[in-house]
């Protein structure tokens, strides 16, 4: 067939839709996922703007007031020191969301790369890399964090890194399992026979095909990281009062649950809402990123 | 009187994308001692028809919308679960396609054989383990398992594929059913094993006087085994008749198309090989893999390729034939430097490839490409056709961002894909179209040498013919040299100039295709050639008569 019979396609066809563009088109049709995305965006924006929009200062105490139920001046009530709960939840959200996203991002990056490399090359490389993972698994997590804190001093960024450094282990295992199943597929062999470099194969052919389970695990990791932060803070290793995080607020709320239930309920709602939003978004993303689900 | 009578059967699948009429108004009947073959391509509804009789379909989405099926006068379609269980246990048995996955790996073969007797739904007919064991061993002997009382306690993985299918047959027969449904029972097997299994089914049918429904896509197999044939297409029956009638005087266009699509006879295109100029030279090539279950010095290595030497001339199509495990795929991969070589050398255009680093190999990669067997696994599911086809072009610098679209479109044109499909993902294509994409990727870099590893064995026969023609056309147009790996001897004969027969890692025989066909020298080649089923009932019968 002669060259000129091939009509040059329209601009749209030429630029084409990438995996992510397709995913966005599909995601827009998933109402639950959009709801999740919307909730997350509202939460993130309000956390960013908290210092300007919060009704009170986070450390402003009113000991005379004490713990009061929700009222017009304090929408979500006050805690035992008379501090405004709405303000505290907003400030707490800053810490919790930051921990959740940064620590999970750290876990994601290390975990995916580590797992993909170990699974793809296999053999001795795999054995060594996975033994390192096993050793880290076996290391008591608390001791690890305490050591970090002792050596580097208490620092919120360090806390993020410490949590991320623990959470990537499971991610690496998941990705490695996926990659081992993928690397013997014929399309990987086809890529090899084209002479693609190993790194290109991992990046273009292997990692995109592991996205489904990775996304689901990510949406599970974020809330668990938030709770982990609460646990560490409770032990005095994380952030300290008067600063707050959702996890800390919930912990204190549990202690006074019987007398002042709103101290537990409202931070609980904030965390659960985030969790739901993440799960809806995660499921939506997983489906949207799978080309096998239809676009319409 | 017919043992099974199916009338106007309709099975629809209610999916999100609408109703799929998987089986639409299908009627047939089978007598005792008779073999009815249901022939059709994938998606024709041949398996669904039989599964619906035994209530083995997932419901929903499947729903039986109408018709009747009478087994000895009892209705199968609206009986209770209990009655259906009785039918499955006593009357109707089924053999599945893949003997590797139809046995439970955690139970011994004997345990699985005794199961239907020891756990019979009717307590009065349950048998003691001792009696069941005796029966099972007798049956294992009957289906040709050597040393049955010893093998009784073996686990499935200790059997080869053919032996497992024999076990499956024994399992189907242990309750002495009156109807045996075989769903492509030999498709996953090698041709010599296939011949044995087919003979076994035929022989058992005679001695036990059971009715057999034989589902198959392979007209050659059907010609040898069936008394009556039903041809199905898209859920409907195209034609029903006795075997000779279907094969020799069919009036139906679809049946004619099916018969015409079977590769038969010698290669029609001229031999373009330049005998004096060798493109690929393989010298005493060995590829050994470490044996994971090694017990000593003798079996430390699995000798996948054990000292193969051969020459491929420029422009030649070389057929490489062998049964599964013969090392033919490993040889192909070793030539392309995709599998490790233990010793020996591969020379391509006077350049020795063995021992080159990945970087040194890179310029040679684009000159040698591979087409893979499974078009469902050989394409990255997350890459569109455009991405798949542009990757080799961009990576090898044969196109830049501006020209790549034009070139991809040209490529799609070459392999017979419509341009509108450029942005689609692999799952949106049929098997044949996917194989076209894979072929497009292989020829994208304008290679000189292509290894096609069973490129049509996963495809239906009419699609297979189209893909073979496409491959031949591309070979012609781009002046390619090709090594065509296949277990299907008819396909190899149809496509190749010269043929190499491989068995257990070593080269058994080589020669020009027609010479090997008409005058095989080695016993192994003779055995292989005589086992090919031919889509000609008369010659199949005369051969069976000879063997009996």
Q: Average model confidence (pLDDT) for chain B?
A: 85
Which has the closest alpha carbon to B442: B381, B398, B393? B393
Report pLDDT for B369. 92
Of A17, A192, A205, the CB nearest to B380: A205
Q: Does the distance separating the beta carbons of B382 and A291 come in below 8 Å? A: yes
Residue ranges of B 432-471 with Cβ closer than 8 A to chain A: 438, 441-442, 445
Give B-chain residues touching A191 at CB under 8 angstroms.
380, 391
- Band of the pLDDT at B546, cuts 50, 70, 90? low
Report pLDDT for B408. 92
Q: Is B405 on the interface with A (CB under 8 A)?
A: yes
Closest chain A CA to residue B450: A193
- Write the CA distances from B392 to B161, B182, B227, integer angstroms: 38, 44, 51
Of A6, A191, A196, the CB nearest to B413: A6
- Band of the pLDDT at A15, cuts 50, 70, 90? very low
Mean pLDDT along residues A27-33: 86
Percent of chain B with pLDDT strictly greater than 70 = 98
Give B-chain residues touching A193 at CB under 8 angstroms.
336, 338, 365, 368-370
Domain ranges of chain B: 4-261, 274-367+445-542
Report pLDDT for B483. 93
Decide: B92 and B142 in contact? Cβ < 8 Å.
no
Rounded distance between C-alpha atoms, residue B511 and residue B514, angstroms:
8
B194 is written with which tokens? Answer: 């296939």
Of A5, A16, A191, the CB nearest to B423: A16
Q: Which fold has domain B4-261?
A: Rossmann fold (3.40.50)
Report pLDDT for A10. 40
Q: Does the distance separating the beta carbons of A14 and B409 come in below 8 Å? A: no
Q: Is A295 on the interface with B (CB under 8 A)?
A: no
DSSP E strand stretches across B16-91: 18-30, 35-39, 62-71, 74-75
- Band of the pLDDT at A4, cuts 50, 70, 90? very low
Q: Does the distance separating the beta carbons of A205 and B425 come in below 8 Å? A: no
Residue ranges of A 173-232 with Cβ closer than 8 A to chain B: 185-187, 189-198, 200, 204-205, 208-209, 211
Q: Is A293 on the interface with B (CB under 8 A)?
A: no
Q: Does the distance separating the beta carbons of B395 and A194 come in below 8 Å? A: yes
- Band of the pLDDT at A279, cuts 50, 70, 90? confident
| pLDDT one-digit tens code per residue, B214-237 | 888 888 888 888 888 999 888 888
Residues 6+ apart with CB under 8 A from A84: A55, A56, A60, A74, A76, A78
Report pLDDT for A114. 92
CB pairs under 8 A between A and B: 100
Mean pLDDT along residues A253-261: 82
Closest chain B CA to residue A212: B382
Q: Which one of A15, A185, A190 makes the best mutation probe of the B interface by having the most chain B beta carbons within 10 Å?
A: A190
Domain ranges of chain A: 36-59+76-289
Position with higher pLDDT, A202 vs B193: A202
Q: Does the distance separating the beta carbons of B395 and A13 come in below 8 Å? A: no
Which has the closest alpha carbon to B38: B215, B186, B210, B184? B215
Measured between CA atoms, how close is B263 to chain A, in angstroms?
26
| pLDDT one-digit tens code per residue, B262-274 | 777 777 777 777 7
Mean pLDDT along residues A10-25: 58
Decide: B19 and B12 in contact? Cβ < 8 Å.
yes
Q: Does the distance separating the beta carbons of A200 and B395 come in below 8 Å? A: yes
Give B-chain residues touching A12 at CB under 8 angstroms.
none
Lowest mean pLDDT among A103-112, B162-171, B260-269: B260-269
* pLDDT over threshold 60, residue A11: no
User: Measured at the alpha carbon of residue B342, what is the angle toward residues B340 and B345, in degrees to the nearest 5?
Assistant: 90
Measured between CA atoms, how close is A125 to chain B, in angstroms?
18
CATH architecture of A36-59+76-289: Orthogonal Bundle (1.10)
Rounded distance between C-alpha atoms, residue A201 and residue A205, angstroms:
5
Q: Which one of B409, B415, B437 makes the best mutation probe of the A interface by having the most chain A beta carbons within 10 Å?
A: B409
Give B-chain residues touching A8 at CB under 8 angstroms.
405-406
| pLDDT one-digit tens code per residue, B205-216 | 888 888 889 888
Of A195, A211, A291, the CB nearest to B366: A195
Measured between CA atoms, how close is B338 to chain A, in angstroms?
7
CA dihedral for A166, A169, A175, A179, sign (positive or negative): positive
Report pLDDT for B438. 92
Q: Does the distance separating the beta carbons of A3 and B374 come in below 8 Å? A: no
Task: With both helix axes pointing from N to C terminus, report the angle between A262-289 and A31-53 in degrees, rounded to the nearest 10.
Answer: 130
Domain B274-367+445-542: CATH superfamily, name plus number: P-loop containing nucleotide triphosphate hydrolases (3.40.50.300)
Measured between CA atoms, how close is B123 to chain A, in angstroms?
45
Decide: B9 and B27 in contact? Cβ < 8 Å.
yes
* pLDDT over threshold 50, residue A201: yes
- Band of the pLDDT at B1, cuts 50, 70, 90? low
Position with higher pLDDT, B294 vs A134: A134
| pLDDT one-digit tens code per residue, B496-531 | 899 999 988 889 999 888 888 888 888 888 888 888
Give A-chain residues touching B384 at CB under 8 angstroms.
16-17, 291
Q: Does the distance separating the beta carbons of B361 and A186 come in below 8 Å? A: no
Q: Is the peptide bond before B61 cis (omega within 30 degrees of 0)?
A: yes
Residues 6+ apart with CB under 8 A from B296: none
| pLDDT one-digit tens code per residue, A284-295 | 888 888 777 654
pTM of the model: 0.79
| pLDDT one-digit tens code per residue, B116-165 | 888 877 777 778 888 888 888 888 888 778 788 888 888 888 877 778 88
- Kindly calculate the radius of gyration of chain B based on its CA atoms and give it in whole angstroms: 25
Report pLDDT for A294. 59
Measured between CA atoms, how close is A216 to chain B, in angstroms?
18
Percent of chain A with pLDDT strictly greater than 70 = 88
DSSP bridge partners of B64: B11
Q: What share of chain A is helix, strand, coil (3-state, %, to 5)?
A: 75, 0, 25
* pLDDT over threshold 60, residue A7: no
HEC assignment per residue over B89-152 = HHHEEEECCCCCCCCCCCCCHHHHHHHHHHCCCCHHHCCCHHHHHHHHHHHHHHCCCCCHHHHC
Q: Does the distance separating the beta carbons of B392 and A194 come in below 8 Å? A: yes
Q: Is A73 on the interface with B (CB under 8 A)?
A: no
Which has the closest alpha carbon to B39: B262, B211, B239? B239
Decide: B385 and B433 in contact? Cβ < 8 Å.
no
Measured between CA atoms, how close is B185 to chain A, in angstroms?
26
Q: Does the distance separating the beta carbons of B396 and A194 come in below 8 Å? A: yes
Residue B189 is classified by DSSP as S
* pLDDT over threshold 80, residue A73: no
Q: Which one of A14, A195, A287, A289 makes the best mutation probe of the B interface by having the most chain B beta carbons within 10 Å?
A: A195
| pLDDT one-digit tens code per residue, B319-368 | 999 887 788 888 999 999 988 888 898 999 888 888 888 888 888 898 99
| pLDDT one-digit tens code per residue, B364-385 | 898 999 998 888 888 998 888 9
| pLDDT one-digit tens code per residue, B13-26 | 887 777 888 888 88
Which has the closest alpha carbon to B275: B483, B498, B496? B498
Report pLDDT for B318. 92
Position with higher pLDDT, B404 vs B43: B404
Position with higher pLDDT, B545 vs A248: A248
Q: What is the ipTM of this complex?
A: 0.75
Measured between CA atoms, how close is A195 to chain B, in angstroms?
5
Rounded distance between C-alpha atoms, residue B105 and residue B102, angstroms:
9
Residue B396 is classified by DSSP as T
Sheet holding B18-30, edge to edge: B18-30, B4-15, B62-71, B74-75
| pLDDT one-digit tens code per residue, B428-475 | 888 888 899 999 999 999 999 999 998 888 788 888 888 998 999 999
Closest chain A CA to residue B16: A294
Q: Which one of B16, B365, B382 makes the best mutation probe of the A interface by having the most chain A beta carbons within 10 Å?
A: B382
């Amino acid at each position: 067939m002669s060259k000129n019979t091939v009509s040059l396609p329209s601009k749209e066809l030429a630029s084409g839709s990438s995996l992510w563009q397709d995913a966005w088109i599909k995601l827009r049709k998933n109402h639950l996922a959009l709801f999740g995305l919307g909730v997350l965006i509202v939460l993130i924006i309000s956390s960013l703007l908290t210092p300007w929009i919060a009704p009170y200062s986070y450390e402003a105490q009113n000991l005379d007031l004490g713990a009061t139920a929700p009222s017009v001046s304090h929408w979500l009530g006050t805690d035992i020191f008379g501090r405004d709960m709405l303000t505290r939840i907003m400030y707490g959200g800053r810490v919790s969301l930051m921990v959740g996203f940064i620590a999970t991002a750290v876990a994601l990056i290390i975990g995916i790369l580590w797992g993909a490399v170990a699974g793809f090359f296999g053999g001795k490389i795999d054995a060594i890399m996975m033994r390192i993972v096993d050793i880290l698994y076996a290391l008591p997590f608390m001791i690890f964090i305490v050591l970090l804190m002792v050596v580097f001093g208490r620092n919120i960024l360090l806390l993020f890194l410490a949590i991320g450094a623990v959470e990537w282990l499971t991610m690496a295992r998941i990705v490695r399992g996926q990659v081992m199943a993928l690397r013997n597929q014929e399309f990987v062999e086809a890529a090899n026979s084209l002479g693609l470099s190993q790194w290109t194969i991992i990046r273009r052919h292997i990692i995109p095909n592991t996205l489904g389970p990775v996304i689901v695990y990510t949406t599970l990791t974020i809330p668990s990281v938030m709770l982990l932060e609460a646990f560490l803070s409770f032990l005095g290793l994380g952030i300290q009062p008067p600063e707050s995080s959702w996890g800390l607020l919930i912990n204190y709320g549990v202690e006074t649950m019987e007398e002042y239930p709103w101290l537990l309920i409202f931070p609980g709602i904030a965390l659960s809402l985030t969790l739901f939003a993440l799960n809806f978004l995660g499921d939506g993303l997983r489906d949207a990123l799978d080309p096998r689900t239809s676009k319409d | 009187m017919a043992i099974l009578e199916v009338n106007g059967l309709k099975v629809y699948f209610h999916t999100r994308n609408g109703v799929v009429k998987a089986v639409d108004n299908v009627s047939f009947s089978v007598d005792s001692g008779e073999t009815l073959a249901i022939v059709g391509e994938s998606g024709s509804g041949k398996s669904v028809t039989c599964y619906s009789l035994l209530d083995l379909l997932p419901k929903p989405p499947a729903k039986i919308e109408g018709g009747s099926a009478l087994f000895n006068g009892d209705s199968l379609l609206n009986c209770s679960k209990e009655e259906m269980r009785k039918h499955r246990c006593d009357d109707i048995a089924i053999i599945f396609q893949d003997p590797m996955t139809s046995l439970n790996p955690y139970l011994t073969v004997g345990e699985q054989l005794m199961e239907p007797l020891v756990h019979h739904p009717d307590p009065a007919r349950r048998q003691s383990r001792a009696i069941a064991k005796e029966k099972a061993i007798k049956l294992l002997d009957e289906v040709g398992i050597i040393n049955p009382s010893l093998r009784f306690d073996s686990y499935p993985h200790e059997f080869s594929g053919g032996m497992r299918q024999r076990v499956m047959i024994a399992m189907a027969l242990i309750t002495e059913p009156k109807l045996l449904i075989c769903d492509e029972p030999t498709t996953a097997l090698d041709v010599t094993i296939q011949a044995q299994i087919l003979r076994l089914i035929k022989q058992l049918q005679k001695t036990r006087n059971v009715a057999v429904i034989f589902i198959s896509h392979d007209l050659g197999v059907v010609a040898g085994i069936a008394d009556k044939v039903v041809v199905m297409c898209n859920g409907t029956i195209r034609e029903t008749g006795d075997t000779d009638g279907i094969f020799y005087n069919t009036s139906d266009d679809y049946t004619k198309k099916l018969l015409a699509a079977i590769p038969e006879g010698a290669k029609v295109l001229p031999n373009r090989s330049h005998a004096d100029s060798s493109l690929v030279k393989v010298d005493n090539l060995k590829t050994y893999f470490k044996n994971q279950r090694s017990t000593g010095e003798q079996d430390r290595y699995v000798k996948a390729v054990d000292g193969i030497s051969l020459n491929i001339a420029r422009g030649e199509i070389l057929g490489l034939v062998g049964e599964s495990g013969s090392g033919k795929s490993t040889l192909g991969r070793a030539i392309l430097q995709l599998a490790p070589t233990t010793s020996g050398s591969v020379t391509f255009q006077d350049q020795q490839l063995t021992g080159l680093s990945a970087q040194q190999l890179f310029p040679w990669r684009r000159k040698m490409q591979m087409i893979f067997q499974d078009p469902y696994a050989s394409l990255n599911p997350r890459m569109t056709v455009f991405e798949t086809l542009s990757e080799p072009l961009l990576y090898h610098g044969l196109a830049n961002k501006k020209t790549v679209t034009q070139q991809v479109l040209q490529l799609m044109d070459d392999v017979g894909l419509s341009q509108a499909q450029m942005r689609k993902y692999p799952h949106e294509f049929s098997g044949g179209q996917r194989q076209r994409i894979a072929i497009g990727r292989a020829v994208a870099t304008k290679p000189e040498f292509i290894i096609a590893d069973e490129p049509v064995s996963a495809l239906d026969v009419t699609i297979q013919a189209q893909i073979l023609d496409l491959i031949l056309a591309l070979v012609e147009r781009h002046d390619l040299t090709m090594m065509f790996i296949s277990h299907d001897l008819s396909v190899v004969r149809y496509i190749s100039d010269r043929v190499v027969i491989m068995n257990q890692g070593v080269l058994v025989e080589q020669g020009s295709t027609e010479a090997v066909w008409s005058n095989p020298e080695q016993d192994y080649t003779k055995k292989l050639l005589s086992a090919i089923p031919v889509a000609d009932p008369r010659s199949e019968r005369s051969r069976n008569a000879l063997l009996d």
